[in-house]
Amino acid sequence: MSTRHTRHARHTRHRLTAATAVLAVALLTATASACTSAQKPSQDPATAPEPGTLRVLASSELSDMTPVLARVEKDTGIKVRPTYMGTLDAVDMLAGGKTDGVYDALWLSSNDYLRLRPDAAKKVVSETSVMASPVAIGVKAATVAELGWKPEQVTWSQVEEAVQDGKLTYGMTDPARSNSGFSTLISVASGLSGAQSALTDADVTKATPRLKEFFKGQKLTSGSSGWLADAYERRGTVDALLNYESVLKGIPGLTVIRPRDGVVTADYPVTSLASTDATTREEVRRLTEALRTPAIQRRITDVTHRRPVVASVPPAAGLDTSRRRELPFPGSRSVADGLLDAYENELRRPSRTVYVLDTSGSMGGERLSALKAALRGLTGDFRQREEVTLMPFGSDVKSVRTHVVSPADPKSGLDAIRRDTDALNADGDTAIYTSLEKAYRQLGADRDTFTSIVLMTDGENTAGAKASEFDGFYRRLPAGQRDIPVFPILFGDSDRAELAHIAELTGGRLFDAQQGSLDGAFKEIRGYQ
């Protein structure tokens, strides 16, 4: 069974179906840029074998290793061709056999979650750590001064107290998709529960009231560390970020704090796969050996702010060398999955999303069928307390239907979304900008939710407001509404430049279903909602 669906286990039922299992395949990303989305390995030329090249499935944040890998290639002749995606999604792919014959190695921020899954663990034959980065808190210098904190003395309890007093807000990545978010969640739960060893179900239960208070301070979420940093700098509305130390060190103006009661550390193991042959494994071994040479270790720490794992190489200047307690990963999959489920459905702020869906005449036939299938599959991923608005459009908005996934009766809300999805029909022209304006008006004043707009279109704007008119409308919105991002999805014959402009204007991100799949794009956006 797919880990993602097990760990969410919402509404006391298993959610894995033949259709949703395929979604793990669709989550492959072609590059680490902000304009990528899911790709199916069978259709992705980037995954085809190439002599002298290792195809590596890597955690998203490792895109910063490009200059280091260029040096390794120059020294050894080994070329690394990475495909970036979230760590937990990569483990799902590995466990499902979707990496067999497609990748030569795995390079995740951590294999801790992988080891909890026998179906994934049996598919690796060796792993070697090449660098390290602990979870940390990056806080604006002014906020540190206002709180009177001494960075070397800060604890997770002090962070919680600052949140309760209304003096600290922050952003972090989605733990269900990003290992930096998951490691942060474990660190916080361990610190607030007072656990002296690996987290247990009892520890999570004990910490839940304090965790609910702690996560009231989370005002920004993301599926990737890169977009989180960009949103932090663009909005300027949160005081801190919770992420890996290496990521935080690259953001100007942050004081990086490692809570003294302990954190989880990523160790970035290069991992050989059981599905590869002896020649490939030897190449992976040579790559690992090259990454652990003193010269490359020095380059890693200087370029990426990660910590070397070779004792003779000191950390880069500015990395605190004082010791911190290393928190253990949960000892069982049930505890890890239970913590994730609690975060998704109880601890975090609820989501509120308007799906602006092109159902113009050009969407008839297979395209409309693909949209309906993607939305039906997506209902299995909606969280409790989530508010979902479907806004199909053609020459104008056709209808506005809002549903809430109530904890008391989640099935009713999900069934209503499916009924509205099945009722979609294709006709009319394509009024993209008029529909977006109505989506912003529908959302109205800011509420205590993670709020976003998802735009799916298969063509260019042909009716209603023009791009310049929408730009003016957006810039006149109140500040709180201007913080609502639009996540456009390229599909069919849609115009990349047009949709990229919408994403850039609103602080969203463009997802590509022209090269990948529509259901994969919808699923990837979930990390940002």
pLDDT mean over 110-127: 95
Q: How far is Cα 4 from Cα 85, in angstroms, rounded to an integer?
A: 14
Give SS3 for 388: strand
> Per residue, what are the HEC states of 44-69?
CHHHCCCCCEEEEEEEHHHHHHHHHH
Q: How far is Cα 499 from Cα 490, in angstroms, rounded to an integer?
A: 7
Place of tokens 């309760």: 164
Which pLDDT score is estimated for 37? 35
Q: How far is Cα 289 from Cα 281, in angstroms, rounded to an integer?
A: 12
Which pLDDT score is estimated for 122? 97
pLDDT mean over 387-409: 97
Give SS3 for 399: coil
Question: Residue 235 belongs to what H/E stretch?
Answer: helix 225-235
Which pLDDT score is estimated for 447? 79
CA 89 to chain centre: 9
pLDDT mean over 171-193: 93
What is the maximum alpha-carbon separation in the chain?
Answer: 67
Q: How far is Cα 43 from Cα 34, in angstroms, rounded to an integer?
A: 21
In the predicted structure, residue 390 carries a pLDDT above the cut 70 = yes
Cβ atoms < 10 Å from Cβ of 286: 15
Reported confidence tier of residue 444, pLDDT bands at 50, 70, 90: confident
pLDDT mean over 204-222: 95
Q: How far is Cα 352 from Cα 311, in angstroms, rounded to an integer?
A: 48
Per-residue pLDDT tens digits for 57-94: 999 889 999 999 999 999 999 999 999 988 888 999 99
Which pLDDT score is estimated for 23? 31
Amino acid at 197: S
Which pLDDT score is estimated for 47? 60
In the predicted structure, residue 453 carries a pLDDT above the cut 90 = yes
* Domains identified in the chain and CATH numbers: 3-132+267-304 (3.40.190.10), 133-265+324-344 (3.40.190.10), 350-528 (3.40.50.410)
pLDDT mean over 319-337: 90
In the predicted structure, residue 20 carries a pLDDT above the cut 50 = no
Which pLDDT score is estimated for 498? 96
Per-residue pLDDT tens digits for 271-305: 999 999 999 999 999 999 999 999 999 999 999 99
Kindly report the average pLDDT of the chain as a whole number: 89
In the predicted structure, residue 25 carries a pLDDT above the cut 90 = no
Per-residue pLDDT tens digits for 497-526: 999 999 999 999 999 998 878 988 998 899
Reported confidence tier of residue 46, pLDDT bands at 50, 70, 90: low
Reported confidence tier of residue 34, pLDDT bands at 50, 70, 90: very low
> Which residue, among 450, 370, 360, has the nearest Cα to 396 in the 3D structure?
360
